[in-house]
Amino acid sequence: MSSVEEESDSKADHINEIILSDDVQRAIEQVLQSSDPLDQPDFNPTDYINQLFPNEQSLSNIDEVISKMECDISLIDDNIRSVVRGQVNTGENGRVALKEAQQSLTQLFSLITDIKSRAERTEDMVKEITRDIKQLDSAKNNLTYAITTLNHLHMLVGGVENLKQLSERRQYGEVLNPLQAIIEVNQHFQQYSEISQIQTLSAQVQQIQSELATQITDDFKNFFSPTSHSNANRMTITQLKDACQVASVLDKLVKKNILKWYINLQLQEYVQLFHENQDIAWLDKIDKRYAWVKRHLLDFEEKFGTVFPADWEVSERITVQFCTITREELSKIMARRRQEIDVKLLLFAIQKTSNFEQLLDKRFNGTTLVEATSEEVRKERDSFSNLIGSCFKPYLDIYTDSIGRELTALVEQFAQQNQQMIVPKEINPGIIPNCADLFVFYKKCMVQCMQLSNEKPMYDLVLIFKKHLRDYASKVLEARIPKPQPPSSTSSTISSSMSLLTKDFQNLSTAAGQVIHNFLKEGETPRFSVEDTRKICYILATAEYCLETVQQLEDKLKEKIDKNYIAKVDLADEKDVYHRIISNCIQLLVHDLDAACEQSLLLMTKIAWHSISNVGDQSGFVNQIITNLKQTVPVIRDNLANSRKYYTQFCHKFVNSFIPKYINTLYRLRPTSSGSSSASGSSALVASASSSSISEGANGSSAASGNILGCEQLLLDTHSLKTVLMDLPSIGSQVHRKPPASYTKVVVKGMAKAEMIIKVVMQPIHPASLYIEQYLKLLPESTVVEFHKILEMKNVRKIEQQQLVEGYKRACPAQQQQQTQTSSAAAGTGESINSTQTTDSASGAGASAGSHQSQQMAAAAAAISGAGSSIMALGDSLMDKGRIKKIENLIKNRLPN
């Protein structure tokens, strides 16, 4: 029974379901815009009920929901009833409206038909009225055309006879107007050329034009021919002037032939006088060519300037033909005598030619240039520029080769001048003067070459510029960069040290310590003098000026050179050369300042930090560093006043170099003492220097077990150094500027790490877990290698170090352990390199001494060998292997071979 009921319910649901098409649904949505879920086409009753009653507690308001639904249903029913009732009379209203529309259309159609018929009747009436008028108008036009044609025919018939008579009498002034009229009339009758009479008249007109052309040409030749001066039938100037006007009316070829013959006649003397076999034809007398044409043009314009019409441009045509002949003749003679051309002669000829062409540009408008030259020779038709000068282009390599030789000599001269470079005494010396001279010469060459050609010769000049920019950098700037000079080792220092060693064997430890100290002092890193520092800044500022000017030079060359060569103009390699010089100068200044601070850092390692009993003012090594900075940095800053960005770069590089060295020096110190470990070798060495024996220093070290005052003193010194480094860019200056943020960030980060290292050393290692936790908080980016070094600073025993390292490895992240392995490998490589560099610098520091010094050194060597076991034992207890190696090298270099 239940299945039957379910089947009936499903059928009922299917019957009640209304499915609308998509178009109907979109239309309903446009008319009835609603956000109610009940109005949606995909309404799902189950989802809607679940939304209303998501849980059992929500069923408490089911009565309210049902009441609201019933209210909505009743409202919808009312709306449906009103709509249905409103549609009762809709059909009847529609039928009435349709009937009224049909009646209106019938009336409209009848009105349009009536209007059309009236328009047709009106058109017939207008045609009837204007029929006679059109006939009269057509008759008038035909009559006018017939009268005009008869007049033209009368003019043609009468004019032909008149022209024959006038041309035979050479009355060209009276021929001009009838000739123009007859030519125009004859063109009018070309449409009637099938009529025999018209053909005859047209042939007569053509014959008259041909006869006039031949007659005028002969008259010109008779008048200007040198052999016709005694001819009684020679034309007058007035007749010749009228003949030119008639020739302008005739065919263009007539005028062209007359001008060609006349221009060749005018330049006949020039061709013979400046033939290539004549001495006057060579380049050294090229100005005589231009003087000849100037005189000839003046003579022509004075005698016959009024004969030829102005639009014939006879003077300009003579000049253009002169330029064409001159270019061809010069090309032939230069090809035959190329070996005789030098740069002075070539530039003389080019200059004279350029001046002449500029004069022609001012004198003439260039309207005849197209007729006289080819596309290959002349690209710009409105200028005489290079009309003759183009013949010199194949020989401009002589000019560029000369520029190359001059630049080579100039750079060599600058190199000789800079053998003893003297920096001006003023605070900001500027740049080397010959650098500006070089670029002035470059500008002069570029302007001169631009006047000659901006194509391949200009590109050849670019290649020459590139070569000598590199030569100037290497021969003038790099060659004059000072080299650091080793400190002078006086014989008295060695002698006194050796005497001290051989004199008092009773106090062997004190003597050996003093000898070692003197040798170490002699092995100091070479330093620059103040004058050398100023030279480096001088060269750096000059390289900066060259770098900026080379960029400007490249831009100007690209602007001036032909577009086909723009992509080839590239001075990037030359700019890199000057970039390298600037970088080298900055690196030398940084290295020099580093060398000044190395001795202070070395002194830092000689202090018995674990034996300090009270914390006072900053240590002596800090004072030394500050003194070195105040002595060196102001000199660099004053001499780089116009190169602030490179001075800032110098400060950046110095702190990036000094801070890691300072941190590495911290790792070598033993600022705390432990009952299970002895003092460091360097601390014992200083203790021995300040007491009467080694044993006293060792006892003092042991007595200071657990002392952290050394760490506090180091913390104070580190803070003092941090303050100094923060103020480094303005140190020693009356004007204090705020350092760049990037520089401040480097100093703060680096010195903060140094402070954290000291604070970690101050922490007790027991309990180990707490120590490691504090370590990771203070040095979160540390490595196992650094952890080892800090444990060495605390004098922790090897067994305890292993336990602490294991705990550290367990506590630090895996990523940090990977960084540790990488940094360990890098550290090993760095120590190897540093060791090699130290050995090389030490082995190169010695010099040969005199015979007296050799004897003393030999005696000292014997004394050293006699007490060898004592000294080596002392060295093992005082210093590590690297220090001993350095001492051995210094001793070997100072002993005779």
In order, the DSSP letters of 264-275 are HHHTHHHHHHT-
Q: Is the pLDDT of residue 560 over 70?
A: yes
Per the listing, tokens 């949606």 go with: 40
- pLDDT tens digits for range 443-472: 999 998 888 888 889 999 999 999 999 999
Question: Which residues, listed in sequence order, are joined to residue 485 by a DSSP beta bridge?
Answer: 527
pLDDT confidence bin for 869, thresholds 50/70/90: very low
Question: Which residues, listed in sequence order, are joined to residue 207 by a DSSP beta bridge?
Answer: none
Exposed, middle or buried by CB within 10 Å (0-12, 13-18, 19+), for 384? buried
Question: Which residues, listed in sequence order, are joined to residue 509 by a DSSP beta bridge?
Answer: none
pLDDT confidence bin for 184, thresholds 50/70/90: low
The three-class DSSP label of residue 844 is coil
Of 859, 846, 857, residue with least CA distance to 886: 846
Task: Write the DSSP symbol of residue 337.
Answer: T
What is the maximum span of the chain, computed from C-alpha positions, in angstroms? 159
Check residue 4 and give its pLDDT: 46
pLDDT confidence bin for 735, thresholds 50/70/90: confident
- pLDDT tens digits for range 264-302: 888 888 888 888 888 888 888 888 889 998 888 888 888
Other Cβ atoms closer than 10 A to 882: 13
In angstroms, rounded to a whole number, what is the distance separating the alpha carbons of residues 250 and 678? 125
Task: Write the DSSP symbol of residue 727.
Answer: T
Q: Which two tokens stand for residue 677?
A: 């470990």
Question: E-strand spans in 700-801?
Answer: none
Degrees (nearest 5) of the Cα angle 502, 504, 510? 105
Same fold yes or no, 398-484+526-585 and 587-670+706-811? yes
Exposed, middle or buried by CB within 10 Å (0-12, 13-18, 19+), for 788? middle
Of 634, 423, 629, residue with least CA distance to 534: 423
Check residue 702 and give its pLDDT: 32
367 φ, ψ (degrees, to nearest 5)? -70, -25
In angstroms, rounded to a whole number, what is the distance separating the alpha carbons of residues 155 and 624? 120
Check residue 485 and give its pLDDT: 64
The three-class DSSP label of residue 35 is coil
Check residue 167 and give its pLDDT: 66
Check residue 863 and give its pLDDT: 36
pLDDT confidence bin for 526, thresholds 50/70/90: confident
Check residue 488 and give its pLDDT: 46
Other Cβ atoms closer than 10 A to 566: 13
782 to 107, 175, 754: CA distances (angstroms): 105, 113, 12
Task: Write the DSSP symbol of residue 235.
Answer: P
- pLDDT tens digits for range 85-123: 777 777 778 788 888 888 899 999 999 998 998 898 888
| Mean pLDDT, residues 34-43 | 74
State which of 128-132, 628-632, 683-687, 890-894 shows the largest mean pLDDT. Answer: 628-632
Check residue 228 and give its pLDDT: 53
Check residue 545 and give its pLDDT: 93
CATH of domain 587-670+706-811: 1.10.357
Check residue 163 and give its pLDDT: 67
In angstroms, rounded to a whole number, what is the distance separating the alpha carbons of residues 383 and 3? 109
Q: Which two tokens stand for residue 48?
A: 């809607």
Q: Which two tokens stand for residue 269?
A: 């003397």
Check residue 89 and give its pLDDT: 74
Q: Is the pLDDT of residue 609 over 60?
A: yes
In angstroms, rounded to a whole number, what is the distance separating the alpha carbons of residues 640 and 620? 30
Which residues fall within 8 angstroms of residue 287, CB to CB, at 6 or more apart?
Answer: 352
The three-class DSSP label of residue 427 is coil
CB 606 within 8 A of CB 517: no
727 to 202, 620, 723, 736, 753: CA distances (angstroms): 106, 19, 6, 8, 19
In angstroms, rounded to a whole number, what is the distance separating the alpha carbons of residues 754 and 601? 14
Q: What is the distance in angstroms between the CA of the first residue and the CA of the last residue of the chain?
A: 127
In 280-429, alpha helices (H) = 286-304, 314-336, 343-363, 369-372, 396-417
Residue % of the chain over a pLDDT of 90: 17
Helix (H) or strand (E) holding 678: none
pLDDT confidence bin for 180, thresholds 50/70/90: low
In this predicted model, which residue has the larger pLDDT, 313 or 175?
313
Check residue 158 and give its pLDDT: 56
- Rg (the chain; Cα; Å): 55
309 φ, ψ (degrees, to nearest 5)? -60, 155
| Mean pLDDT, residues 635-649 | 89
Check residue 156 and give its pLDDT: 61
- Could you confirm whether domain 398-484+526-585 is CATH 1.10.540? no
768 to 676, 771, 779, 788, 797: CA distances (angstroms): 17, 5, 16, 14, 14
Check residue 680 and give its pLDDT: 37
Check residue 677 and give its pLDDT: 37
Least confident interval from 31-45, 174-188, 304-318, 436-450 = 174-188
144 to 147, 151, 192, 315: CA distances (angstroms): 5, 11, 18, 49
Q: Which two tokens stand for residue 355?
A: 């001046």
State which of 478-492, 696-710, 779-793 shows the largest mean pLDDT. Answer: 779-793
575 to 544, 554, 571: CA distances (angstroms): 10, 10, 6
CB burial readout 155-168, b (16+ within 10 A) else e? bbeebbebbeebbe
pLDDT confidence bin for 438, thresholds 50/70/90: very high
Least confident interval from 39-53, 731-745, 761-775 = 39-53
Q: What's the whole-number average pLDDT of the chain? A: 75
Q: Is the pLDDT of residue 838 over 60?
A: no
Report helix angle 530-560 to 620-639, nearest 10.
40
pLDDT confidence bin for 152, thresholds 50/70/90: low
Check residue 830 and give its pLDDT: 43
| Mean pLDDT, residues 305-327 | 85
- pLDDT tens digits for range 342-369: 888 988 998 888 889 888 888 887 777 7
Per the listing, tokens 């009312």 go with: 78
Q: Is the pLDDT of residue 247 over 70?
A: yes
| Mean pLDDT, residues 401-429 | 83
Check residue 226 and give its pLDDT: 63
In angstroms, rounded to a whole number, what is the distance separating the alpha carbons of residues 312 and 294? 19
In angstroms, rounded to a whole number, what is the distance separating the alpha carbons of residues 448 and 93? 100
In this predicted model, which residue has the larger pLDDT, 435 or 517?
435
Degrees (nearest 5) of the Cα angle 324, 328, 329? 115
| Mean pLDDT, residues 213-231 | 70
In this predicted model, which residue has the larger pLDDT, 781 or 230?
781
- pLDDT tens digits for range 670-721: 888 653 333 333 333 333 333 322 233 333 333 333 568 888 888 999 999 9
Q: Which two tokens stand for residue 583?
A: 């970088």
- pLDDT tens digits for range 237-246: 777 777 777 7
856 φ, ψ (degrees, to nearest 5)? -65, -40
In this predicted model, which residue has the larger pLDDT, 217 or 160?
217
In angstroms, rounded to a whole number, what is the distance separating the alpha carbons of residues 453 and 857? 73
Check residue 115 and give its pLDDT: 92
Q: Which two tokens stand for residue 674?
A: 């432990």
In angstroms, rounded to a whole number, what is the distance separating the alpha carbons of residues 622 and 457? 62
pLDDT confidence bin for 188, thresholds 50/70/90: low
Q: Which two tokens stand for residue 3?
A: 């299945």
pLDDT confidence bin for 750, thresholds 50/70/90: very high
**Cis link prior to 767 (omega < 30° from 0)?**
yes
| Mean pLDDT, residues 607-617 | 83
In angstroms, rounded to a whole number, what is the distance separating the alpha carbons of residues 465 and 557? 11
Domain extents in the chain: 251-369+383-387, 398-484+526-585, 587-670+706-811
Identify residue 386 by its one-letter amino acid code: N
Q: Is the pLDDT of residue 839 over 60?
A: no
| Mean pLDDT, residues 551-572 | 92
Q: Which two tokens stand for residue 878?
A: 């005082």
Check residue 24 and give its pLDDT: 77
In angstroms, rounded to a whole number, what is the distance separating the alpha carbons of residues 209 and 529? 99
Check residue 854 and give its pLDDT: 39
CB burial readout 246-264, b (16+ within 10 A) else e? bbbbbeeebbeebbeebbe
Per the listing, tokens 């009236």 go with: 118
| Mean pLDDT, residues 816-836 | 46
| Mean pLDDT, residues 59-79 | 86
State which of 70-74, 255-259, 575-579 shows the largest mean pLDDT. Answer: 575-579
- pLDDT tens digits for range 382-391: 578 888 888 8
Q: Is the pLDDT of residue 852 over 80?
A: no
Check residue 191 and give its pLDDT: 63
In angstroms, rounded to a whole number, what is the distance separating the alpha carbons of residues 558 and 555? 5
| Mean pLDDT, residues 129-143 | 78
